[in-house]
Amino acid sequence: MISNAASAGGTWWVIEKNPKTLLPEEMPHYVPADRSPEVIGQADILVITGVTLINHTLEGILSAARPDADIAVMGPTAGGLPDPLFKRGVPGGGGCGSDPPGQAAGNSLSGRFRIPFSGPVC
């Protein structure tokens, strides 16, 4: 997802609780999670990972979003049951492929789990 944002140009940010998961070229766009309301309210497009469903941060992100923002929740943990997202005003979402199982386990253990993203599935 991040590489697509970078290639599109414009201003973009990566809000992340664990900056060790970011590549060096992504660090100039890094915003610590505790500063997220500063940038979420400026964004016209929000692509939120499904991890926010697990770590209970989705509500805070949605409350900080502009009313006219385009919002999608993406990733392997977001594609299952969309009704809870729709009830929260998220108009779109989808899953995506991940690393092959053996590679995913190694990447996950190293903190470098990356999800290749080419667009919404649903």
Count the Cβ atoms, other than its own, within 10 Å of residue 99: 16
18: which 2 tokens?
A: 């664990």
Residue 54 lies in a domain: yes
Residue 23 lies in a domain: yes
β-partners of residue 72 are: 47, 92
Which pLDDT band holds residue 50 (cuts at 50, 70, 90)?
A: confident
Q: Which amino acid does the sequence have at 82?
A: P
Residue 77 lies in a domain: yes
Total domain count for the chain? 1
Residue 47 lies in a domain: yes
pLDDT at 79 over 70: no
Instruction: Write out the residue range of the structural domain in which residue 31 sits.
Output: 2-110
- Name 74's Cβ contacts closer than 8 Å, sequence gap at least 6: 1, 47, 48, 49, 50, 93, 94, 95, 96, 117, 120
Residue 83 lies in a domain: yes
State CA 60 to chain mean position distance: 14
Could you tell me the CATH number of the domain that includes residue 10?
3.40.50.11590
pLDDT at 64 over 90: yes
Distance CA 52, CA 24 (A): 23
Residue 105 lies in a domain: yes
Residue 81 lies in a domain: yes
pLDDT at 57 over 80: yes
Residue 120 lies in a domain: no
